[in-house]
Amino acid sequence: MAKKKKQDELPEILEEKIIEQTICDTLETNYMPYAMSVIVSRAIPEIDGFKPSHRKLLYTMYKMGLISGARTKSSNVVGQTMKLNPHGDGAIYETMVRLARANEALLVPFVDSKGNFGKQYSRDMAYAAPRYTEVKLETVCAEVFRDIDKNTVDFIDNYDNTTKEPVLLPVAFPNILVNPNTGIAVGMASNICSFNLREVCAGTAAYLKDENADVFEYIKAPDFPTGGTIIYNKETLEEIMSTGRGSFKVRAKYSYDKENSCIEITEIPYSTTIEAIRDKVIDCVKTGKTKEIADIRDETDLKGLKITIDVRKNTNIDMLMAKLFKMTPLEDSFGCNFNVLINSRPVVLGVKDIIAQWSNFRIECVKRGLEYDIKEKSDKLHLLQGLEKILLDIDRAIAIIRTTEAEADVVPNLMKGFDIDKVQAEFVAEIKLRNLNKEYILKRTAEIQKLIDEIDEMKRVLSSDREVKKTIIKQLEEIAKKYGEDRLTDLIGDDEIETVTEDDTIEDYRVKMFFTRENYLKKITLVSLRAASEHKLKDGDEIIEVEEASNKDDILLFTDKGGVYKYRIYDIPDCKASSYGEYLPNLLGMEADERIIYMTTTSKYEGYMIFAFENGKVAKVEMSGYATKTNRRKLTSAYCIKSPLAGIFYIESDSDVTLISKGGRALICSTALIAAKAKRDTQGIQVYLSKRDGKLEKVFPAYLSGFENTHEYVSTRIPSSGQKMKDTDIGFKQISFFDE
């Protein structure tokens, strides 16, 4: 009966313990504290560039004296760090691995490592256990802990109140920008790319000198420890650096070993791994997207990263790599989210805003350090000033001490006898008997004036933000000089990158290119041209150039602004004679006031471009000067623009050219007399000497002149002023260098 009664009472007891609560109250009471802990105390870095796990580890190593001396076992450091970080030895060691130089995850590593620490760019290259590896702090950590013992930052109790740890580290350079940082919190994340130390220090120094300075002049673009090449788009990167959000593309670096017929990849994007690239390339081969690849191997060793791709004979390497960039992580995007904790609040900031926040933080650190030094030196000065008074009568001081009966009266008697305070008297009373000599006291009191000068100087600096900033600037310059290195990540303009399709073959056939005065371009197959050859043109337009070429050739389109657009002919759509063709300003993305003035096609970039100028100079530029390793769409400085053009045309080999002046003089000479130049924007050499007959007006191949008296205008020496044109040849003066 008793047991049954007890069971009957059970539901009543449970009912009393059930408390109704809305879901919002449950989240606020139970979930929000956890979420805030993850955001503030785990995943998001603070203005010193560290997360709590990084800070606890490095501070432990600093207190262990590992900033100098020999390395110690990683296990020893991990164990000591657990006094500050109770999250387990595995998490602590992973943090150490990322900070180590051998892991290659940071531009400026903080841990000097010995042993296998794995590699950031490999998911399969595991790091060794902590009992097998050794560590100490890198020398740059002297800048991380600069003046930390001078009350430059706040300290708090550790988790069990047995010791103290710093809230932030007084890092003397903007580490928040120098090293990459990634973290996923609750409802938010942070992904900060790294920038070159020299550039960041220079940009920060410029900001400290003038808050309106353009820091982007110094900090060009991100820089990654794994190198690679950033596809540079000025607008995109400026937006990222201004707002702290956005993405940009990074691609691998490669070279082609012609002897062994293989591609060697030596640098990859920071956000990918060797294994991810290898797996994706193998997948492309299996699906038939890349038939040119015979094998792929990971040949990474102690010398560094290396992925080797064996290719079949007659493979177009540039085309293959363009496809691999498109289909594999050899080209990858880095998404930026510059989320930083400022006064324990997560804020997304641009580069300049981060520099501003770091500058405020660093100014406060330096001021606190100065205040600490002033107090220390003032206390020392106070003691020495008391000692100086003893110098007036050492014997009297000894007599006072000897004649004082009670030990407790020694200090009061010294205070009364020499008019000094208790602190000074205590200092004097504690001096050893052997030091109560004039020499010792003179040496000590000699420091007084030096201390006074040092204190006055520190007070002067402390009272002026400008002087404090000068101190920080000097430190930044020293750090950049001592620890700065050249950029690892190259930049390439997005206009230099040719967009390619995934088609692995390009049909080769003969075409004719027609260029009109109104900047229309027609690409017509010979078959189509035979079927219908009557051209459709806009009113007032006319064809001024015709070139026969292969669909795989390149076309060079020279502008009146001194540039040249390069285009693969197969990228230009075929058309019929009955259409207008492609309008070049739209096709090339030309500037509003830019026009195409000459067209030529080439496949091997052999021969010469001839540029004649109104000032009588003629330049012969090797076509090889327009060949580029990358598929750049536009080349600047294609020819000299210091003097207006009088003529422009292509020649396969040296031949005669005709020059005609505005005053009616003609000159025919061989281009063999003109030295070829590899520099595209060369001014050329003087060929025509202008007297009273004005500037050059027309220059074109001699076979187009049609003069009856050709031999009369020929000169075998240059420069020359030519001959006055005969009446029978005047009509040919009107020929244009566009005409054929």
Query: Which string of DSSP letters, residue by residue, matches 691-731?
Result: SSS-SEEEEEEGGGT--TTGGGGB-SSSSB--EEPPGGGGG
Residues with Cβ within 8 Å of 653's Cβ and at least 6 positions away in sequence, in order, are 607
Over the stretch 364-392, which tens digit does the pLDDT of each residue have?
Answer: 999 999 999 999 999 999 988 888 888 77
Band of pLDDT at residue 502, cut at 50, 70 and 90: very low
Split at pLDDT 50, 70, 90, the class of 59 is very high
Percentage of the chain with pLDDT > 90? 59
Q: Which of 674, 661, 678, 677 is nearest to 722 (CA)?
A: 661
Residues paired with 628 in a beta bridge: none
Which one is predicted more confidently, 224 or 663? 224
pLDDT for the residue numbered 504: 45
Confidence of residue 737 (pLDDT cuts 50, 70, 90): very low
Distance between CA atoms of residues 171 and 371, nearest Å? 18
CA dist list (Å): 168 to 52, 176, 342, 737: 9, 12, 11, 71
Q: Which residues of the chain does CATH 1.10.268.10 include?
A: 357-483
The rounded distance, in Å, linking the Cα atoms of 654 and 342 is: 69
Strands 617-622 and 676-677: parallel
Retrieve residue 108's tokens: 């400026």
In terms of C-beta density within 10 A (0-12 exposed, 13-18 middle, 19 or more buried), how is residue 99 classed?
A: buried
pLDDT of residue 172 exceeding 80: yes
Q: Contact, 642 vs 683, CB < 8 A?
A: yes
357-483: which CATH architecture? Orthogonal Bundle (1.10)
pLDDT for position 11: 56
pLDDT band per the 50, 70, 90 thresholds, residue 197:
very high
> How much of the chain, in percent, has pLDDT values that exceed 70?
94
| Residue 612 Cα distances to 80, 656, 675, 682, angstroms | 77, 13, 14, 11
Confidence at 736, pLDDT banded by 50, 70, 90:
very low
The secondary structure of 576-631 as a DSSP string is -TTS--EEHHHHHT--TT--EEEEEEESS--SEEEEEETTSEEEEEEGGGG--SS-
Higher pLDDT, 186 or 205: 205
Q: Using the predicted structure, report yes or no on whether residue 6 has a pLDDT greater than 80.
A: no
Please give, one letter per residue, the 3-state secondary structure of 9-40: HHHHHHHHHCCCCCHHHHHHHHHHHHHHHHHH
Q: Where in the chain is the domain with CATH 3.30.1360.40?
A: 253-329
Q: Residues 297, 307: contact at Cβ < 8 Å?
A: yes
Whether the Cβ atoms of residue 719 and residue 616 lie closer than 8 Å to each other: yes
**8 vs 638: which has the higher pLDDT:** 638
317: β partners: none
483 pLDDT band, cuts 50/70/90, is very high
Taking only the tens place, the pLDDT of each residue in 457-479 is 999 999 999 999 999 999 999 99
pLDDT at 673 over 90: yes
Evaluate whether 697 touches 735 at the Cβ level (below 8 Å).
no
pLDDT higher than threshold 80 for residue 17: no
Find residue 184's DSSP bridge partners. 189
Annotation marks residue 703 as catalytic: no
Please give the average per-residue pLDDT across 337-344, as a whole number.
92
Q: What digits encode the pLDDT tens for the residues 72-87?
A: 999 999 999 999 988 8
**Confidence category of residue 740, pLDDT binned at 50, 70, 90:** very low
Work out the end-to-end distance of the chain between its first and last CA atoms, rounded to an integer number of angstroms: 121
Q: What is the pLDDT of residue 16?
A: 59
- CA torsion sign for 81, 83, 87, 89 is positive
Which of these CATH numbers, 3.50.50.60, 3.90.199.10, 1.10.10.60, 3.30.590.20, describes 44-171?
3.90.199.10
Q: In the CATH hierarchy, which fold is given to the domain comprising 604-740? A: Neuraminidase (2.120.10)
Asked if 480 and 204 touch (Cβ cutoff 8 Å), the reply is no
Q: What confidence score (pLDDT) does residue 385 get?
A: 87
Mean pLDDT of the chain: 88
**Contacts (Cβ under 8 Å, ≥6 apart) of 352:** 207, 215, 241, 242
Name residues whose C-beta falls within 8 Å of residue 419's C-beta, 6 or more positions apart in sequence: 389
Instruction: Select which of 132, 159, 509, 703 is catalytic.
Output: 132
Asked if the model's pLDDT at residue 88 lies above 90, the reply is no
Answer whether 188's CB lies under 8 Å from 44's CB: yes
Model confidence at 49, in pLDDT bands (50, 70, 90)?
A: very high
pLDDT class of 633 with cuts at 50, 70, 90 = confident
Residue extent(s) of CATH 3.90.199.10 domains in the chain: 44-171
Tokens read off for 571: 């990228």
What digits encode the pLDDT tens for the residues 236-291?
999 999 999 999 999 999 999 988 999 999 999 999 999 999 999 999 888 767 87
pLDDT tens digits, one per residue of 597-608: 999 999 889 999
Q: How many Cα atoms are found within 13 Å in the side-chain-facing hemisphere of 126?
A: 3
Asked if 659 contacts 696 with a C-beta cutoff of 8 angstroms, the reply is yes
543-586: per-residue pLDDT in tens? Answer: 999 999 998 889 999 999 999 999 888 888 889 998 999 999 99
Which is nearest to 93 in space by CA: 74, 107, 68, 111? 74
478/143 Cα distance (integer angstroms): 10
Nearest residue to 623 (alpha-carbon basis) of 637, 636, 608, 633: 608
d(C-alpha 50, C-alpha 41), whole Å: 11
DSSP 426: H
Q: Give the count of beta carbons closer than 10 Å to the beta carbon of residue 268.
A: 27
Each residue of 398-434: pLDDT tens digit? 888 888 888 888 888 888 888 888 898 888 888 887 7
Give the number of residues written for the chain: 740
Residues 6+ apart with CB under 8 A from 201: 173, 174, 476, 477, 479, 480, 484
Looking at residue 499, its pLDDT comes to 65
What pLDDT sits at residue 158? Answer: 92
Q: pLDDT value at position 47?
A: 94
In which element (H, E) is residue 199 found? Answer: helix 197-209
The pLDDT of residue 8 is above 60:
no
CATH architecture of 253-329: 2-Layer Sandwich (3.30)
Cis amide leading into 719 (omega within 30): yes
The whole-angstrom separation of Cα 581 and Cα 721 is 43
Is residue 688 classed as helix, strand or coil in its secondary structure?
strand
228-252 core/surface letters (b: 16 or more CB in 10 A; e: else): bbbbbbeeebebbbeebebebbbbb
Q: Give rounded-to-5 percent helix, strand, coil for the chain.
A: 40, 25, 40
Residue 454 identity: E
Helix, coil or strand: residue 357 = helix
pLDDT of residue 79: 94
Q: Which residues neighbour 563 within 8 Å (Cβ) at sequence distance 6 or greater?
A: 594, 634, 635, 636, 637, 638
The rounded distance, in Å, linking the Cα atoms of 178 and 487 is 12
Residue type, 339: N
Tell me the three state secondary structure of residue 133.
Answer: coil
Distance CA 457, CA 449 (A): 12
